[in-house]
Each structure stands twice: as C-alpha cells, then as structure tokens.
Chains A and B, each alone.
Chain A
C-alpha cells in the first residue's frame, strides 16, 4: 500500500495539538523522511512565531492616558457655533410665530398695563412685528417653526444628552 504523505494542514493540526491519541501520524513519521523534514520546518516556524518581539511603550504611558482622560473630562460641555446659530434661529422663528399668531396689536395692549417696562417692551415688539409683517409671513413659516422644533428636540436627544452622559461618567 502506497503511503500517503501528510498534508500541510495535517501537520499544522498536529503541531497545534489538535491530533489526539495514537494516530497513524507517529508511524508515518518514523518511516517517512520527507514528512519528518516538513514537520521540522514547521516546528522551527512555530518556535519563531512564539518569540516575543521587543515591544515597549514609554514608561509614562499609563500616566499620559490618564491625564488625557482627565483633560477631556474637565472640559465643560462647550457649544459649537452651529449649535448657537441653531438656538438663535429656533428662538427667532418661535418668537416670530407667536407674534404672527397672536397679532402684534393685542400683544402691545398686554404690555401697556406694565408701565415703563411695558412701553419699552411693546415698542420693541412693534419693531419686530413690523419687520416680520414686512416680509409677509405665511403658513410656510409655521412649518419651518415646527421643523426647527423637531430638529432641536432631535439635537438635544441624540447629541447634547449623550454628551452630558459621557461627561458625567468621568466625574
């Protein structure tokens, strides 16, 4: 019967310790120089693969990591310019919508009862009202206001709240 040589896969399985018990391996290896040689080659490779390379990080590695984390944690949740812009836009749209819906004159009457402060407020309101009346407000603005509101809720839920949670973790 012609002997079948060991395949590369069988040799690797053998060296990995996945060939259990008395197998035909041992018998074949005793009589086959070719396979013995192949096993030796793989053994040398395995030994070389297990040699630890000189790997090292700087002595202060852990301290640097910790100081980086502490630095990140001490940063108060700052606002980006686009976040401030969106907030101002949202407020503007909201105010404009209120003015549009209630009507500038009834709003003015509301403030006249409040003396000097009311006068100032109503004149400021009048300016804002005239401005918005000048640009011909319509229901499109309402849609925009609704959109801005939904957008801000989304912003708060998915960006600002997780940011707060992440930061509270460091404290």
Chain B
C-alpha cells in the first residue's frame, strides 16, 4: 500500500518511468479481464491501452478506499463492458435466474471447429468458457487466476457479493457438466 502510494505520487508529479512500472505491474491483471471480454485480437491491445490511459487520467481521484488492483480491474471491466456495448454484444443481466437462464444463454455451435477436436482438457475448457456470459467469465478469471475474494470481485463487477458467489458456482457446475458430456461422448474423461 505504501509502495503504491509513493508510485502514484510520482506518477501524478509527471514521472513517466513510475507510470511505466505501474503498467508492467498491472498489465497481467488488465489482460486477464480484457482478453476474456474482447475476442477480437486486434481490438484487445487497443482496449488495454484505453484502460491504462483511463487509469492515468483518474489516478488523482484514487483515494485508497480499495486496493489499487481492485480499482484498476474495475476500470478494465467497465472499459470492456463499454466496448461490448459498442459492439452490440448481448450482456447477461439476469441476476436472479436459476441455471435454466444460463443454459438458455449458452450458445452451442453446430459446426465443429478446431477446439472441439482438441482433446486437452485446458483447451476444451477455454473453449467452453468463451460461451459463458461475460460476467461469468470475469468472475472465473478473477477468482481462479487473480485469487480475488467475492468482495473484491463484487466491487469490480458492480454485482452483489451473493450474486458473485452464485454466478461462480453456477459457472463451474455448468462447465463441469458440459465437459463431462463432451468427454463421455468420446469416453475420454478419467
């Protein structure tokens, strides 16, 4: 915390080296959030750039009410959502729905593609994750890769803590079922 305070002070006073080191410290986090939301490879880097420009522009407003990582991830999430809205990507906004709603949202392609031929579990999983609504993808990433708490994820996504937990559990259950169904078809599970 003290380190980030000093870093922020330096950045505000115009130290570009300090800002460069902030980018290096948090680009993995920003990538985790943005890469799950933005599928177009060419747009990904641009959106990540926008995130850091916004971070720079708003840094003087950061009051240390939360961790710097939470604050940056929140900017990244909102930038990603704005990008998706511009691209007219439908967002899952059913907060109370049960698995049925998530199942309905699930997009099952009819044509086989490269990934479904892939037998490696991780590759399969990544492919199945792409079909999840964006909030679910973000929650899975922040929880499993960034090891964030429900409260931190709630702050980033603007969802209540309980919803974060429920989405996480529903996403994992659905992923497990989808993967098992696929592997059972090919008798590959275990």
Query: Interface of A with B (CB < 8 Å)?
Result: 8-9, 12, 40-42, 44-46, 48-53, 55-58, 61-66, 68-70, 72, 166, 169-171
Contact = CB atoms under 8 A, between A and B. Distances in A.
A68 B45 contact: no
B176 interface: yes
Contacts of B169: 8-9, 12
B91 interface: no
Contacts, number: 76
B125 A45 contact: yes
Given A57-B45, A62-B24, A65-B23, A45 B175 contact: yes
B48 A62 contact: no
Of the listed residues A8, A62, A69, A169, the one surrounded by the most CB atoms of chain B closer than 10 A to its CB is A62
Contacts of B16: 66, 70
29 contacts: A8-B173, A12-B169, A41-B176, A42-B172, A44-B121, A45-B175, A45-B176, A48-B125, A49-B145, A51-B122, A55-B28, A55-B32, A57-B27, A57-B48, A58-B45, A61-B27, A61-B45, A61-B49, A62-B24, A62-B27, A63-B20, A65-B49, A65-B53, A66-B16, A66-B19, A69-B19, A70-B16, A72-B53, A169-B57
Contacts of A46: 144, 172
A169 B58 CA distance: 10
A49 B27 contact: no
Of the listed residues A41, A50, A56, A57, the one surrounded by the most CB atoms of chain B closer than 10 A to its CB is A57
A164 to B, nearest CB: 14
A41 B144 CA distance: 16
Nearest to B59: A169
Interface string B85-105: 000000000000000000000
A171 B45 contact: no
A53 B35 contact: yes
A16 to B, nearest CB: 9
A69 B56 contact: yes
Contacts of A55: 28, 31-32, 35
Interface in B151-190: 169, 172-173, 175-176, 179-180, 189-190
A38 to B, nearest CB: 9
A66 B145 contact: no
B72 interface: no
A72 B57 CA distance: 11
Given A42-B172, A45-B172, A61-B48, A68 B125 contact: no
